[in-house]
Chain A
Amino acid sequence: MTASAIRSSAWKRYNWRLIWLSLLYCLFLLPAVYGFKHQLIPGALKYLVAILPALPVIGIFGAMGRYIVEEQDEYVRMLVVRQMLWAMGFTLGVATIWGFLDNFGLVGHVDGYWIVVVWYFGQAIGSIANKLTVGDAACR
């Protein structure tokens, strides 16, 4: 098996998981929004329906972890892990600063799930950081 085939197989599997989880996210989110908007969901079931769209998002984090495990190229894996560490640091930093600003009434309250978007943005920062410090970004 060639190196590119090894790399692409781990990356391909990650992408397939991402597609399925995104479809599942839509499948859970749209009925939940409709159900809550029209008050169709009874009692305690509301909690379950509200949590369902979060599960595929958590699954995406799992898929990323799986990709790191399955990636056969140790150098690419190192770059991806560095990128994720940057993303994690950036996200925690933004969340902490925003939390204090929010607490002192200086900014508006933001829904917690936006943290995932911040994390993705942090990945881009991680990629730039890799380029600046290691001189390379993960090409998958």
Chain B
Amino acid sequence: MENRLRVLRAERGWSQQDLAERLEVSRQSVNAIETGKYDPSLPLAFRVAELFAIPIEEIFVSPSRRSSKAI
């Protein structure tokens, strides 16, 4: 799933490891989410949103919205 995690992380000057520790997941997980290889569960997506204090949809791009934009 496309997302703005890398941008949001960079804005705060955090490394992937920093973000991983804040989310209590592995750096491998953060990398997989950032690169779109893995879609996080809803609880983890909420943790990400709460950490950045913004709504989920401002971090993760809905696949249906993305395809409708393409049309």
Asked if A and B are interacting partners, one says yes
**Closest residue of B by beta carbon distance from A7:** B26
Interface residues of A in 1-34 (CB under 8 A from B): 1-4, 6-7
Say yes or no: A139 contacts B26, CB within 8 Å: yes
* Chain A residues bordering chain B, tally (CB within 8 A): 16
* B37 x A3 contact (CB < 8 A): no
Q: Is A135's CB within 8 Å of the partner chain B? A: yes
- Does chain B have a CB within 8 A of A75? yes
Tell me the minimal C-beta distance from A74 to chain B in angstroms. 6
* Stretch from B38-46, B53-61, B62-70 at the A interface: B38-46
Q: Which residue of A is nearest B20, CB measured?
A: A3
- B38 proximity list for chain A (CB < 8 A): 75, 78, 134
Give the complex CA separation of A61 and B27 in angstroms.
Answer: 28
A102 within 8 A of B: no
Closest Cβ of chain A: how far from B46's Cβ, in Å? 13
Across-interface contacts of B41 in A (CB, < 8 A)? 74
B61 → A minimal CB distance (Å): 19
A4 and B24 CA atoms in complex are apart in Å by 8
Fill in one digit per residue for B9-38: 1 if any A CB lies within 8 Å of its CB, else 0: 000000000001101111111001100011
Interface string of A50-74 (1 = CB under 8 A from B): 0000000000000000000000111
Is the beta-carbon distance between A3 and B24 smaller than 8 angstroms?
A: yes
Q: Chain B residues near A1 (CB, 8 Å)?
A: 24
- A8 to B24, alpha carbons, bound, how many Å? 12
